Amino acid sequence: MPDQKRLFFALPLPADLQQNIIEWRAANFAPDAGRPIAAANLHITLAFLGDVSAQKQRTLSALAGRISQPGFTLALDDAGHWPRSQVVWLGSRQPPRGLLQLANLLRAQAARSGCPQSAQPFHPHVTLLRNAQHPVRLPPPGFGWQFPVREFVLYESRFEQGRTRYQPLERWSLNA
Ligand code: 2AM
């Protein structure tokens, strides 16, 4: 449908952290391990919405605006490879309760608004490489970054000129 947009809620990563991560990735993964995601596209999805009409977007956005919860600190200190989705990811050994709460709420609101949610348990992650078809040697433990999460964002996913771009459409603050 022409008026539909491909949307998802996510946590952005600070630009300096995106840069640190891609430098670490270049130093720690073989060039043929998979297709690297551009620094600006590194994020943590909270709820994937799929193709959404303008009206449904307004509903989802109004529901998101009612969320009131404190910010939290997120550590990225875990990495893995999902062979089925061919994704190499960065995650958290102990995701903060606030992150799980926020994602659960957004996913429940999405499901109730007619955006079916995956039956798989939510595993917060930053996708680092796609098309990782072969077993991947993961970096030894000891890496890790922490950052404060103070907002969540509604993004539109666009495929333009051969590239995927994530355009922020709306932002909501988490209470300090
Ligand atoms: P992924 O990185 O693990 O693939 C935009 O596509 C974001 O939404 C990505 O972070 C992607 O997660 C996530 N996502 C979740 N379910 C998806 C789906 N069914 N199709 C595309 N992206 C999905």
Phi and psi at residue 123, to the nearest 5°: -125, 100
Render pLDDT for 3-12 as a digit per residue (tens, 0 to 9).
999 999 999 9
User: Residue 156 pLDDT > 90, yes or no?
Assistant: yes
Evaluate: CB of 18 within 6 angstroms of ligand 1: no
Domain holding 40, by residue range, is 4-173
The reply to whether 43 belongs to the active site is yes
Render pLDDT for 86-129 as a digit per residue (tens, 0 to 9).
999 999 999 999 999 999 999 999 999 999 999 999 999 999 99
How many domains does the structure of the chain reveal?
1
pLDDT score at 76? 98
Evaluate: CB of 87 within 6 angstroms of ligand 1: yes
User: Residue 42 pLDDT > 90, yes or no?
Assistant: yes
User: Residue 50 pLDDT > 90, yes or no?
Assistant: yes
User: Residue 174 pLDDT > 80, yes or no?
Assistant: yes
pLDDT score at 175? 86
**Taking the model in full, what pTM does it have?**
0.96
Residue 135: how many other CB atoms lie within 10 Å: 9
Ligand 1 centroid to Cα of residue 48, in Å, is: 6
Provide the 8-state DSSP code for 105.
H
Over residues 145-149, mean pLDDT: 98
Angle between helices 54-65 and 97-112 (to 10 degrees): 140
Closest atom of ligand 1 relative to the 37 alpha carbon: 2
Closest atom of ligand 1 relative to the 43 alpha carbon: 10
Q: Which run of H or of E encompasses 81? A: strand 78-82
Which residue, judged by its Cα, is nearest atom 15 of ligand 1?
48
Rounded CA separation 17/58 (Å)? 31
Rounded CA separation 3/117 (Å)? 22
Render pLDDT for 60-93 as a digit per residue (tens, 0 to 9).
999 999 999 999 999 999 999 999 999 999 999 9
Bridge partner residues of 172 (DSSP): 152
Counting DSSP H helices and E strands in the chain, the numbers are 3, 10
Evaluate: CB of 48 within 6 angstroms of ligand 1: yes
| CATH for 122 | 3.90.1140.10
The reply to whether 134 belongs to the active site is no
Contact 7, 54 (CB under 8 A): no
